[in-house]
Structure 1
Amino acid sequence: MTNRDLMIFLTLSFMWSLSFIFYRIGVPEFGSLAFASLRVVLAGLTMLVFVLLKKKNRQGIRDNWKVLTLVGLFSAAIPFMLFAFAARSVNAGVLAVLNASVPMMSGFIASTFFKDRLSKKQILGLVIGIVGVVILMSESLFGEQSGTSGSGLLPMGYALLACVGYAVGANITRNYLDNVTPVAITAGSLIIASVIMLPIALYEFPYGKSISLTAWVSVICIGVFSTAIALIFMNQLIKSIGPMRATSITLVIPIFAIILGYLLLGEALDTPAIIGSVVILFGTYLSLEISIKKMLTS
């Protein structure tokens, strides 16, 4: 990993960790559906620029619009809405930790439905990750009675379902869009998703309600920077260091999210949350089959 790759890696980690902060700021004012749909629409408008710039991208979208529709739904529209519902009561740091389970879920789906074999290390990581999720969601250890956490089983379930969506979208992309450029996949899926979500954005928008400047900045930043621009960075990172090491970014995002949640929102994590978070991140690390030493030196 070159210094440039490392800089992109850390920048992307920061940008994606901010998305959970933006959820916590914007959702209470816009509402879950309005915020999530506006995020998709703004991301789609941003990616429209890249479609207009290259004919190859337009061709890739035209030829694969049906599959890209599925990717847009599972990788953007549905997960964004579910995370928006979860963000009403779940801390940004906890959301980021649950988001880190995506590689484990992706591996399980690939093994179950697409006949990709998991190694013993990956299976161990999956089991450990599940244990971590159980700890994090345990009503007796980490429930709504914990005032500092402000989380509950149902909202955290929304977040986990969002992660399932991400995992399904990733497997569809890998198995059915291998011949399409990453930019075309990103642009096509987000543009199609934005067309689907636009009526929801118009219907659910809180007309007549005073929206603060902070909330407007949050929805614009999450749509443009933490979605569209971030995915461009991710595509570049995948191209440079490979998908396996690029996916390890999910291990770093929670660190940024927890720190930012503490500094910007005054959020705190109790002991069960910390234990569950560490277990999930360790399980994710094993499921990715990466070596930190090799990643930094290669």
Structure 2
Amino acid sequence: MTNRDLIIFITLSFMWSLSFIFYRVGVPEFGSLTFASLRVIFAGLVMLIFVLISKKNREGIRENWKVLALVGLFSAAVPFMLFSFSARSVNAGVLAVLNASVPMLSGFIASTFFKDRLSKKQILGLIIGVIGVVILMSESLFGGQNATSGSSLLPMGYGLLACVGYALGANITRNYLNDVSPVAITAGSLIIASVIMLPVAIYEFPYGKSISAQAWVSVICIGVFSTAIALIFMNQLIKSIGPMRATSITLVIPIFAIILGYLLLGEALDTPAIIGSVVILFGTYLSLELSVTRMIKS
């Protein structure tokens, strides 16, 4: 993993963490399904610009549209829909833990179906990272009024299926779109996903309800920055360091989310958050097979 990859990894963690802030502002006014649909649609509109101004991107999409359709389904349309259903009755802590299963699922799919073997160090790092996420979210998971009940098992299943979609989409990208540019991959998959999500947005939109400017800004920002631009970075990482290492970003995102929540929303920064963050960083360090000495030298 080069220093450039590491910078992209950290930047992407921050950009996706911002989506938690945008969700907090926009979902109460739009509703979960409408917000998720508009997120994909705005992202697709942004990527349409890249398609119109670049012949190379158009050719890449035209030659690989079938595979890109699968990536759009598994990496955007289906997961966003499933997480929207899951979020109705499962608290954010549990969803974060479910989301942290993506690198493990990605590694399993890669090693089982694509013969991409993981080292013992990577496997250990992923396990430690998941433990760190559990510590990070321990209060939400095991205490308080919003702890998950048995009635949330089916919605939790929706969330887990969404994670399977993310993992599968990452592996498809790495193994079947390696010669396609990250911009073309992102543009093709998001444009196709936005076409799929458009009827949902039209049907679920809260007609007659006044939507604030803040809510509109949040859905536009999550579509442009936390989806379109972020997925360009993600597809670059997948091609550069592989699907398992790239999706291990889901272990780091809760750290940024807690910091942003503390700075922007005044949320508490407690001991489990600090301990969990340290454990996650150590696990991620192992799973990415980083070397402090090599990084300092370079």
Other-structure match for 1:76: 76
CA contact (8 A) 2:110 2:116 kept: yes
Residues paired across the two proteins, number: 290
CA contact (8 A) 2:79 2:166 kept: yes
Other-structure match for 1:146: 144
Give the 4+ runs in structure 1 shifted more than 6 A.
Answer: 4-7, 133-138
Q: How big is each residue's C-alpha offset from its partner over 1:49-108, in whole Å with a ceiling of 9 and x where there is no partner?
A: 1111111211221221111111001111122233444555644x8756654443332112
TM-score (norm: length of structure 1): 0.81
Q: How big is each residue's C-alpha offset from its partner over 1:189-240, in whole Å with a ceiling of 9 and x where there is no partner?
A: 000000011001111111112222221111110001111122334456678x
Matches within 5 A, 1:79-228: 79-87=79-87, 90-91=91-92, 99-129=99-129, 131=131, 142-143=140-141, 145-147=143-145, 150=146, 152=148, 154=152, 158-228=158-228
Change (3 A) 1:219 1:102: same
Other-structure match for 1:243: 241
The residue identity in structure 1 corresponding to 2:172 is: I
The residue identity in structure 2 corresponding to 1:105 is: L
Greater shift in the superposed pair: 45-54 or 227-236: 227-236
Question: In the aligned structure 2, how far is the partner of 1:107 from the partner of 1:280?
Answer: 17
Other-structure match for 1:66: 66
Question: In the aligned structure 2, how far is the partner of 1:162 from the partner of 1:211?
Answer: 28
CA contact (8 A) 1:103 1:287 kept: no
The residue identity in structure 1 corresponding to 2:257 is: A
Deviation at 1:293, TM superposition (A): 4.3
The residue identity in structure 1 corresponding to 2:37 is: S
Other-structure match for 1:20: 20
Change (3 A) 1:8 1:129: closer
Other-structure match for 2:231: 231
Deviation at 1:250, TM superposition (A): 4.5
SS of 2:46's equivalent in the other structure is: helix
Deviation at 1:124, TM superposition (A): 2.4
Deviation at 1:181, TM superposition (A): 1.7
The residue identity in structure 2 corresponding to 1:146 is: G
Q: Which runs of 5+ in 1 are unaligned?
A: none
Change (3 A) 1:103 1:152: same
The residue identity in structure 1 corresponding to 2:178 is: D
CA contact (8 A) 1:100 1:284 kept: no
Deviation at 1:151, TM superposition (A): 5.3
Change (3 A) 1:156 1:296: farther
Greater shift in the superposed pair: 167-176 or 257-266: 257-266
The residue identity in structure 1 corresponding to 2:73 is: L
The residue identity in structure 1 corresponding to 2:148 is: G
CA contact (8 A) 2:103 2:126 kept: no
Q: CA RMSD in A?
A: 3.4
CA contact (8 A) 2:37 2:198 kept: yes
CA contact (8 A) 1:44 1:228 kept: yes
Greater shift in the superposed pair: 157-166 or 82-91: 82-91
Identity rate, percent: 81
Q: Which runs of 5+ in 2 are unaligned?
A: none
